[in-house]
Each structure stands twice: as structure tokens, then as C-alpha cells.
Amino acid sequence: MSILQPKLGNYNLENYDVMKERFHWDDVKSQFSWSKTGKVNLAYEAIDRHVANGKGEKVALIYSDSLREEMYTFSEMKHETNKAAAMFKKYNVAKGDRVFIFMPRTPELYICLLGAIKVGAVVGPLFEAFMKEAVRSRLEDSEATIIVTTPELLPRIPIAELPHLQTIILVGEEEKLSTGSGKKFVSYYSEMESTVSDDNTIEWVDLEDGLILHYTSGSTGKPKGVYHVHNAMLQHYQTAKWVLDLKEDDIYWCTADPGWVTGTSYGIFGPWLNGVTNVVRGGRFSPDDWYKTIEKYQVSVWYSAPTAFRMLMAAAPEIMKKYDLSSIRHVLSVGEPLNPEVVRWGFETLHHRIHDTWWMTETGAMLICNYLSEPIKPGSMGKPVPGVEAAIINDKGEKLPPYEMGHLAIKAGWPSMMRKIWKNELKYNEYYSIPGWYVSGDTAYQDEDGYFWFQGRNDDVIMTSGERVGPFEIESKLVEHPAVAEAGVIGKPDEIRGHIIKAFVSLREGYEYSDELKQEIQAFIKKELSAHAVPREIEFKDKLPKTRSGKIMRRVLKAWELNEPAGDLSTMED
Ligand code: PRX
């Protein structure tokens, strides 16, 4: 597919090269109270500031699921988050304490998360689908003192095994309040009813004070607590403005859950720091439901993930045709490589370029992106945002020439970089093993125009017959085949070739596994890519193992293949 030129019209058309030259992160600070008082609070900047600036009546949150539909203005959000803050204070939450939130996407989740930030707590959002062991290890490691949850999820919190946990705030029916465990149980709704909103509840903090703890699992070992500070808001604000292109009258929808970094950095902080109306859809994915959400709320900017786009692609095309999606003006993707086939689908059906963005839990915000005024090369992640320096380097820290694969690394010092791995300095230092650089663990190359091309996680790159093959390129080609819905590619140890390429493939509706289909797919890869990229083995699966955030878990495929333990599975989908 050829290069996609920017659309003219209602876009951020600031020149990339000029911004790269001129921009400095310090320029952003002047927006926030920090510049006047030396203190700040992200929740104030995201909500209360807009009320102070006369935008109190604007809708901040549009929430819907199959049972509820609610709207909250910035004034109402200010009021509610103040009350939640007072509730946390009443139950002894002090600056720096860890407040965990374990519940489905509902307005209460968003109110509690911002309320906890208002009192200077470090919030820890947990996916509602986590089971007991995943919940236990995160609460134990963080030494959280208080958790907000629902009666339905309460049985998954092993409270007796968590000595630091003192208080459980239950969002749900009061009669389900438990007693007798030595812990304090609090009813969210009665507490909120009896509390008054008071602006003085806000704890003013320093830019380097703790904000959020996101647990993320690596390929081995325990999940790590990635710790971010209030300073990250500079980058949440600026990238949401530049890359999401948020403007005053946008209706923005980020489909990610706050249990995942995208759902906080760009599901909460980025849009609200820019004072934009934010759509949250509760419940599970369904193509009808998603298109209906866009149509009903007139979503204009839509941030989602390749896995979701692929599921929409795999659904019957008639479903999309039932809805009017003309409100959309800008579409973006994150989380895993964006296959050119998905970009083509977006262009042909939504009539939009899907903009890829690359970043990580550890980086806190977007780093490499398709900036609006720049052409898109489908399959590439784009270029570093102004204010960020990225490079492809070797083990010695030397920059590599165009098209050579190496470590994707970032020059240390962007505002939203993690400040530590909770209680694990050793792990933190591993990211900086090459002096001056944050080493991402991703392998990529850069082309002569400065675009970055993702190849895989370091441990995913396949050496076959002396050639280095990135699994992503093959996966992208596989999903171009009409029968293939999703694909995961790994290297399988082989005495002769070092590794052979093995593909795990799930089929689209209407296709069935057969030897002919397998050969047809192999011939397709040979013709379209190259002979050395052909998967010698193809195994058909109903479903591929994926994280809840949509990443195909190649390490699980590898473990299946080698009959080895698959490691931490707490982030895997049901
Ligand atoms: O391997 C890269 C992949 O996801 C990793 C980070 O995962 P996580 O911490 O869960 O954060 C995801 C959302 C911020 C990266 O090291 N990844 C993320 N975005 C992309 C990507 N791979 C290719 N293209 C992307 N746009």
C-alpha cells in the first residue's frame, strides 16, 4: 500500500519539523497551577481548572452500558471527585498511600480514581477480570491500604492474606457489606450521600510526587509496578493535543480500560487535561455496540487497538453499513503493531487514515507516532513526537544506519517516563543498561525518512537459516489472506535451521481448516513476502492467547510449543 497523505481540513497542521526544532516541554508548564504556585494536582488540572475557566457546564463524561446512561458536566465531576476525596481522607488516606480500584468501567471508577489523586494518593487501577492470585500479588507488592471494589468482585480479594489492607469501599448494595474480618467495610453510596464537596480537600503536590502505579507483566517473572508522577501530565496534555488532535468541540472515545495504561493516560488524563468531552462505554466488545456508540454520541476522535480493528474487520460488513459513522474525523491505534491490512480497511471503509502510536506502560505517554501533518507509511509507527529523541542502537549504544535492526531506544528525560519500578531497583536499572538511553526491549529499524518500523519484542525475533525475521511482518501478511482472522508467529527450535517459522492462525467465519488451505496460505506468503518467511508449520486455533489489552502472547504460543510453563498469565484474556 502506498503512502497516505494527510487530509486537509480540520486538523493539527502544525509543521512537524518546525515543532521539533522549536518545542520544549517547559513551554507546557505555564498552563498549569505549578507555574504560579509551585504546586500542582493532576485531578485539579483535569477537572476543576475548566470550571474555574468558565467551562463548568460542558459535558465531561458520557457514560453508557446496557443498563445505564449518564452524563456529567465538569462542575458535576468536580463536585463528585471532591466528595470522593473527602471520603478517602475520612478513611485516613494520606499523600503517597496506595489506593487501589478494582471494578468495571463505570462513572464511580472514574470519580474514585480522580478523588484519590486529589488527596495525593498513588492510584492502582486493576482490571475487573483479574482473578484472586493476580489481585493478591498486586495488593501485596504495593502494600495498598484501601481498595474500592464491588460486592461481585469482593470474593476475589483475599483480604485475610493482606495485612496492609485496612479499608474496603464497596460500590453496590449495602446489605452485602461484610464484617468480621477485622477490616473496615464502607458503603460508597451512603458515604457519598453524607459528604459535602469542599475545594479545600485538594492536596497540592510537587511535579515529582506519585500519581499512579500500573502493574505490567514482562515475558518472565512477577508483574512489575510501574510508578508514574504528576509531571507526566505535561506529556499527557501535549500529546493529546498534538497527536489525538483534541479540540474544543470534539467527542472523544478511547476504548481502553483504565486497568491498562492507555485507559488512564488517554482514557482520563489526556482528554480531560484538554477539557474535552470523554465517552466511556462499559461492558464487553461487540461490533454493533461499538458502531452504535460512535453514531449515538457522534464520536469524532477514536483511539483503539489493532485487535479491536481486526475484530471489526472480521465481522460481517453489513453490520458497519447499518450505522452512520460520519461524525468520525480522526482514528488512532496503540498497543501492538498495526498491520497495513488494517490501515487499508480503515481507509476503504471508514475513509480515514488510522494513525499508529507507539509507547509503553513504562513510558507513560506516546513517544513515536503518526503526526497529523505528516504522510503515513502503512506498517510504520511514525516518528518521535517533538521533544522526544528516539534511535536504533546496538548493544554498545551506537546508532545504526537506516534499515538495520537494533534496539529501539529513547534518550532519557521525557516528562512522563516512569520514575521507578515499585520496590525493584534492579529491574528499573535494566532499562538503562546502555548509558543515556532507555532501552525499550523492542526491536525495530528506521528508514531513510526517519520513520520507525517495529519488528518484534527482542525475544520474539526469529533467526532462521541465518536470517533475522521479525514475526510482525509475517503476521501482517497472514492476516491479508482472506481466510485468516488473526495470526501469531514464533520461532520453533530446529536442528538444521536454528529455528523454523511456525504460525498459529485463527480463521474467519465461513472458513474451515484443511491441508489445502494450509498450502494455499504458505504459497501466499511465499509469493507476497519471500520463501524464507514461509511458516513451515501452521497450526489452526479457534482463538489465540491474548492479553486483555489485545496483544497476541507469543511467549504463550512458544510455551505451548515447547511444553514449558507459560509464566505469569494474569493479564491473559479469559
Ligand atoms: O512491544 C511494544 C508493543 O507494546 C509494548 C508495550 O506494551 P504496554 O506496556 O502494554 O503498552 C501498550 C500501550 C501503551 C511495546 O513495547 N506496542 C505498543 N504500541 C505499539 C507496539 N508495537 C508495535 N506498534 C505499536 N504502535
Q: Which pLDDT does position 462 carry in this prediction?
A: 84
In order of their start, the domains of the chain are: 16-445 (3.40.50.12780), 460-562 (3.30.300.30)
Q: Which pLDDT does position 185 carry in this prediction?
A: 93
Ligand 1 atom with the smallest distance to the CA of 362 is: 9
Percentage of the chain beyond pLDDT 90 is 77
Whether the CB-CB separation of 354 and 343 falls below 8 Å is answered with yes
Between CA 99 and CA 138 the distance in angstroms is 12
pLDDT at 190 over 60: yes
pLDDT at 220 over 60: no
| Mean pLDDT computed over 504-510 | 93
Mean pLDDT in the chain?
Answer: 92
| Mean pLDDT computed over 502-530 | 92
Q: Which pLDDT does position 472 carry in this prediction?
A: 85
Ligand 1 atom with the smallest distance to the CA of 457 is: 1
Distance 358 CA to ligand 1 centre (A): 6
Percentage of the chain beyond pLDDT 70 is 96
pLDDT bucket at 482, cuts 50 / 70 / 90: very high
Contacts of 572 (CB under 8 A, 6+ apart): 545, 546, 547, 548, 553, 556
Distance 231 CA to ligand 1 centre (A): 22
Sort residue 319 into left (φ over 0), alpha (ψ -120 to 50) or beta.
Answer: alpha
* Residues with C-beta less than 6 Å from any ligand 1 atom: 216, 261-262, 334-338, 356-361, 381, 440-442, 454, 457, 549
The protein residue whose alpha carbon is closest to atom 23 in ligand 1 is 337
Render pLDDT for 135-150 as a digit per residue (tens, 0 to 9): 998 999 999 999 999 9
Contacts of 310 (CB under 8 A, 6+ apart): 339, 342, 479, 485, 486
Q: How many helices (H) and strands (E) does the chain have?
A: 20, 26
Q: Which of 244, 262, 360 to mutate to test the pocket of ligand 1 (most atoms within 8 A of CB)?
A: 360
In one letter, which amino acid is 260? W
For residue 214, CA distances in Å to 186, 280, 288, 363, 390 come to 25, 20, 31, 11, 23
What is the DSSP code string of 240-260? Answer: HHHTS---TT-EEEE---TTS
In one letter, which amino acid is 128? E
> What does the angle CA 368 – CA 372 – CA 373 come to, to the nearest 5 degrees?
115
Q: Which pLDDT does position 105 carry in this prediction?
A: 97
Distance 133 CA to ligand 1 centre (A): 25
Q: Which of 355, 442, 458, 568 to mutate to test the pocket of ligand 1 (most atoms within 8 A of CB)?
A: 442
Higher pLDDT, 212 or 563: 212
pLDDT at 306 over 80: yes
Between CA 3 and CA 512 the distance in angstroms is 35
pLDDT at 571 over 80: no
Q: Which pLDDT does position 78 carry in this prediction?
A: 98
pLDDT at 542 over 60: yes
Between CA 304 and CA 254 the distance in angstroms is 6
Q: Distance from first CA to last CA of the chain, Å, rounded?
A: 35
pTM here? 0.89
Q: In what order do the strands lie in the sheet with 184-187?
A: 184-187, 167-170, 146-149, 98-102, 122-126, 210-216, 224-229, 420-421
Ligand 1 atom with the smallest distance to the CA of 226 is: 9
Distance 138 CA to ligand 1 centre (A): 21
Q: Which of 262, 331, 334 to mutate to test the pocket of ligand 1 (most atoms within 8 A of CB)?
A: 334
Q: Which of 370, 417, 439, 454 to mutate to test the pocket of ligand 1 (most atoms within 8 A of CB)?
A: 454
pLDDT at 439 over 90: yes
In one letter, which amino acid is 513? Y
Ligand 1 atom with the smallest distance to the CA of 260 is: 10
| Mean pLDDT computed over 1-16 | 73
Q: Which of 237-241, 298-302, 332-336 has the lowest mean pLDDT?
A: 332-336
Distance 386 CA to ligand 1 centre (A): 19
Q: Tell me which residue has cell 489472506.
A: 481
The protein residue whose alpha carbon is closest to atom 21 in ligand 1 is 336
Beta bridge mates, 167:
146, 184
Q: Which pLDDT does position 96 carry in this prediction?
A: 98
Ligand 1 atom with the smallest distance to the CA of 440 is: 16
What is the DSSP code string of 154-182? Answer: GGGS-GGG-TT--EEEE-S-GGG---SSS
Q: Which of 385, 551, 554 to mutate to test the pocket of ligand 1 (most atoms within 8 A of CB)?
A: 551
Mark 312-328 as b/e (b = at least 16 C-beta within 10 Å).
Answer: bbbbeeeebeebebebb
The protein residue whose alpha carbon is closest to atom 7 in ligand 1 is 360
Render pLDDT for 343-384 as a digit per residue (tens, 0 to 9): 999 999 999 999 999 999 999 999 999 998 899 999 999 999
Between CA 383 and CA 409 the distance in angstroms is 13
The protein residue whose alpha carbon is closest to atom 11 in ligand 1 is 360
Q: Which of 46-55, 132-141, 261-270 has the lowest mean pLDDT?
A: 132-141
pLDDT at 239 over 70: yes
In one letter, which amino acid is 539? E
Phi first, then psi, for residue 493 (nearest 5°) are -50, 140
pLDDT at 1 over 70: no
